[in-house]
């Protein structure tokens, strides 16, 4: 794998820093150091924001078609470099080489979607008596963006593509656990964008992240991560009256009706829903509601499916479940597993798995608990391959329980009855409802959360509204006759 031994912040088109402090990018499965990265602090953030501020007027005035052309180049570069970046991510974060190419396909789709969408992102205008009414959409200025570690390529694309397409300049802080592929992308961004348009400040949340959210010249904030930090960002935005978009945690219900036709296929899709991304996804379908009538047969098949999921080295193409991002996350997940053993019925899994040669990695066996909706493991986001199964019989009770969590990001429904699907979809408090296929993400379809899962929508045309503000320009043909004289 070819990476640099050290990565510097990208500020004003250059790789530069004021500090010698660094932090390691470590291979998740082995603990081996892959590279060091500058630990950005206030000085780097201030310089990056100043560069973004200086670059803003020219970038905002750049024709949308030209901004789109550069985003299309980013997509092409990602396509050409996918194999290399997949290996970097697999080592850096422990996700599998089987799964990661899909992250890149999705990221590439985002750059292409927003390159196209910005060309049709019109304001409004009309001829009115005696003149014209024009509503223009204008970018905010410097956008501060903070992302998490679970799907770095996707997160970078969700943030950069719409913000840049709309004519904002950006200061992006990647997650301290997963910066490497973003820093690699940064080398290409520095080649093609005018200096200052995209700046990357790797570092820690309380340091670089806090400096970015507090900076008086940042005109909009966008964040993906835990609901806890989301609240901190929202407070920072409130203090300076700048808009904030948030994509936060989830504890999504996945509902199986008794009328499903192909049980094996549904079992497979629900197992995938709970364990893709090693369970470290805000979208994960972690509360599985299985109908009473089919419960015993479904559970037998599901248990078998979980036991067949191959756990191993992220770099082995046969592996379906790699390791968790870090020891901290591993301990957090295992604590929830212990809680589950006390409050629920452990069906399978429930232990750390040793993978020879990868002793530092936190591999967790795919785990199923039978429980009720009011337990901690059913209510709190675990972010590991841990599924809570809840047996249901009465439709209204099930709907009440499906909605009875603080989150509202995603949801799933399996049924052969279209009316059933639509009536259930109408009642779910969630930004996403997937019928018969979990994580069916399409470029352009709105993505975001109800309740504590966030504010705003990404991936869609409306995202461009989030990154622009409206200005009304009213033109009168002539000055009106005097009122007072």
Task: Decide whether 26 or 464 has the Cβ nearer to Mg ion.
Answer: 26
Q: Is 148 in the site for ligand NAI (CB under 6 A)?
A: yes
Q: Which of 277, 282, 323, 460 is catalytic?
A: 282
Site for ligand NAI in 42-101 (CB under 6 A): none
Helix, strand, coil distribution of the chain in percent, nearest 5: 40, 20, 35
With beta carbons less than 8 A apart as the criterion, state whether 173 and 203 touch.
Answer: yes
Residue 37 engages Mg ion in binding (rule: CB under 5 A): no
Which CB sits closer to ligand NAI, 329 or 371? 329
Residue from the set 37, 189, 229, 410 that interacts with ligand NAI by CB under 6 A: 229
What torsion do the CA atoms of 58, 59, 63, 65 make, to the nearest 10 degrees? 160
Is 26 one of the binding residues for Mg ion (CB under 5 A)? yes
**Two structure tokens written together for 25:** 């990018």
Report which DSSP code applies to 202. -
Q: Which residues pair with 407 in a beta bridge?
A: 451
Q: Which of 442, 430, 445 is nearest to 251 (CA)?
A: 430
Residue 402 CB, nearest distance to ligand NAI (Å)?
A: 19
Q: Using an 8 Å Cβ cutoff, are 424 and 436 in contact?
A: no
Residue 99, contacted partner among Mg ion, ligand NAI, none, CB below 5-8 A by kind: none
For residues 232 and 263, which CB has a smaller minimum distance to ligand NAI in the complex? 232
Q: Which residue has the tokens 């009328």?
A: 259
Least distance from Mg ion to the Cβ atom of residue 29, Å: 10
Bridge partners (DSSP) listed for residue 450: 408
Residue with Cβ nearer ligand NAI (225 or 366)? 225
Contacts of 321 (CB under 8 A, 6+ apart): 96, 275, 278, 309, 310, 311, 312, 363, 366, 385
Least distance CB 14 / Mg ion (angstroms): 25
Tokens standing for 260? 């499903």
Q: How far is the CB of 129 from ligand NAI (least distance, A)?
A: 50
Decide if 282 is catalytic: yes
CA–CA separation, 322 and 362 (whole Å): 9
Question: What would the x/- binding string for ligand NAI be over residues 246 to 275, using CB under 6 A?
Answer: -xxx--------------------------
Angle, helix 152-165 to helix 64-80, in steps of 10 degrees: 160
Q: DSSP for 172-184?
A: EE--TTS-HHHHH
- Select the residue interacting with ligand NAI from 17, 210, 368, 464 (CB under 6 A): 210
Instruction: Kindly state the smallest distance separating residue 216's Cβ from ligand NAI, in Å.
Output: 16
Interface with Mg ion includes 92 (CB under 5 A)?
A: yes
> Virtual CA dihedral for 174, 176, 181, 182, nearest 10 degrees?
20
Shortest spacing between CB 331 and ligand NAI, in angstroms: 11
Looking at 381, 401, 443, 458, which residue binds ligand NAI (CB under 6 A)?
A: 381
- Contact with ligand NAI (CB under 6 A) among 40, 96, 106, 213: 213
- Geometric angle at alpha carbon 72, from 66 and 78, rounded to 5°: 145
Partnered with residue 255 across adjacent β-strands are: 289, 413
Closest distance to ligand NAI from the beta carbon of 194 (Å): 26
Continuous H helices in 309-449 = 327-343, 376-379, 395-403, 418-427
Among 196, 225, 237, 448, binds ligand NAI (CB under 6 A): 225
Instruction: Determine whether 462 is an active site residue.
Output: no
The residue from 88, 100, 282, 365 that contacts ligand NAI (CB under 6 A) is 282
Phi, psi of 127 (to 5 degrees): -85, 125
Please identify, using beta-carbon distances, which residue of 100 and 435 lies nearer to Mg ion. 100
Nearest in space to 31 (alpha carbons), one of 384, 363, 351, 359: 359
Query: Does 150 interact with ligand NAI (rule: CB under 6 A)?
Result: yes
**Rounded least distance, CB 178 to Mg ion, Å:** 6
- Whether the Cβ atoms of residue 307 and residue 347 lie closer than 8 Å to each other: no
Kindly indicate which of the ranges 71-79, 91-99, 222-230, 359-367 contains the residues binding ligand NAI, using the contact rule CB under 6 A: 222-230
383 touching ligand NAI, by CB under 6 A:
yes
Q: Which residue in 103, 175, 401, 452 binds ligand NAI (CB under 6 A)?
A: 175
Total binding residues toward ligand NAI, as defined by CB under 6 A: 26
**If contact means CB under 5 to 8 A according to the sort of partner, which of ligand NAI, Mg ion, none does residue 26 touch?**
Mg ion
Q: What tokens appear for 140 in the block?
A: 């905010």
User: Both tokens of residue 435?
Assistant: 């019928």
Check if the beta carbon of residue 452 is closer than 8 Å to that of residue 405.
Answer: no
Residue of 176, 184, 443, 452 interacting with ligand NAI (CB under 6 A): 176
Q: Is 120 exposed, middle or buried (0-12, 13-18, 19+ CB in 10 A)?
A: exposed
Ranked by CB distance to Mg ion, the top (closest) residue is: 92
Please tell me the distance from the alpha carbon of residue 122 to that of residue 137, in angstroms, as a whole number: 7
Q: Is position 184 an interface residue for Mg ion (rule: CB under 5 A)?
A: no
Q: Name the active-site residue from 87, 207, 247, 401.
A: 247
Q: Which two tokens stand for residue 175?
A: 């997650």
| Binding footprint of ligand NAI on the chain (CB under 6 A) | 146-150, 173, 175-176, 204-206, 209-210, 213, 224-226, 229, 232, 247-249, 282, 332, 381, 383
> Could you give the residue numbers annotated as active site?
247, 282
| Binding footprint of Mg ion on the chain (CB under 5 A) | 26, 92
């Amino acid at each position: 794998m070819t990476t640099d031994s050290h990565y510097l912040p990208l500020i004003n088109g250059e790789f530069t820093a004021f500090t010698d402090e660094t932090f390691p990018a470590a291979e998740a499965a082995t603990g081996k150091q892959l590279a060091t990265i500058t630990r950005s602090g206030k000085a780097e953030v201030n310089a990056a924001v100043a560069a973004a501020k200086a670059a803003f007027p020219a970038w905002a005035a750049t024709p949308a078609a030209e901004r789109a052309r550069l985003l299309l180049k980013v997509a092409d570069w990602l396509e050409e470099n996918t194999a290399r970046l997949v290996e970097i991510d697999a080592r850096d974060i422990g996700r599998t080489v089987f799964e990661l190419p899909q992250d890149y396909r999705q990221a590439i789709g985002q750059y292409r979607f927003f390159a196209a969408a910005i060309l049709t992102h019109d304001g409004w205008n009309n001829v009115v008596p005696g003149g014209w009414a024009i509503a223009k959409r204008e970018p905010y200025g410097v956008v501060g963006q903070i992302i998490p570690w679970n799907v770095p390529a996707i997160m970078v694309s969700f943030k950069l593509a719409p913000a840049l397409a709309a004519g904002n300049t950006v200061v992006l802080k990647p997650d301290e656990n997963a910066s490497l592929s973003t820093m690699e992308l940064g080398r290409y961004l520095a080649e093609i964008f005018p200096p200052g348009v995209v700046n990357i400040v790797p570092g820690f949340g309380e340091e670089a992240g806090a400096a970015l959210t507090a900076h008086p010249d940042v005109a909009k904030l966008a964040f993906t991560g835990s609901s806890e930090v989301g609240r901190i960002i929202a407070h920072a935005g409130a203090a300076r009256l700048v808009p904030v978009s948030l994509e936060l945690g989830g504890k999504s219900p996945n509902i199986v009706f008794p009328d499903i036709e192909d049980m094996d296929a549904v079992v497979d899709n629900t197992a995938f829903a709970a364990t893709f991304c090693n369970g470290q996804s805000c979208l994960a379908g972690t509360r599985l509601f299985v109908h009473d009538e089919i419960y015993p047969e479904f559970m037998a098949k599901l248990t078998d499916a979980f036991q067949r999921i191959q756990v191993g080295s992220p770099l082995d193409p046969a592996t379906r479940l790699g390791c968790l991002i870090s020891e901290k996350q591993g301990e957090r997940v295992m604590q929830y597993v212990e809680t589950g053993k006390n409050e629920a019925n452990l069906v399978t899994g429930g232990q750390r798995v040793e993978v020879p040669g990868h002793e530092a990695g936190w591999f967790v066996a795919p785990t199923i608990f039978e429980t009720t909706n009011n337990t901690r493991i059913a209510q709190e986001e675990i972010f590991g391959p841990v599924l809570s199964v809840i047996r249901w019989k009465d439709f209204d009770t099930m709907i009440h329980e499906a909605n009875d969590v603080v989150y509202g990001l995603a949801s799933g429904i399996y049924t052969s009855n279209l009316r059933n699907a639509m009536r259930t979809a109408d009642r779910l408090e969630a930004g996403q409802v997937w019928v018969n296929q979990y994580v069916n993400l399409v470029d352009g379809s709105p993505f975001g959360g109800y309740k504590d899962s966030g504010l705003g929508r990404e991936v869609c045309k409306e995202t461009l509204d989030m990154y622009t503000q409206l200005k009304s320009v009213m033109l009168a043909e002539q000055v009106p006759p005097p009122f007072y004289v």
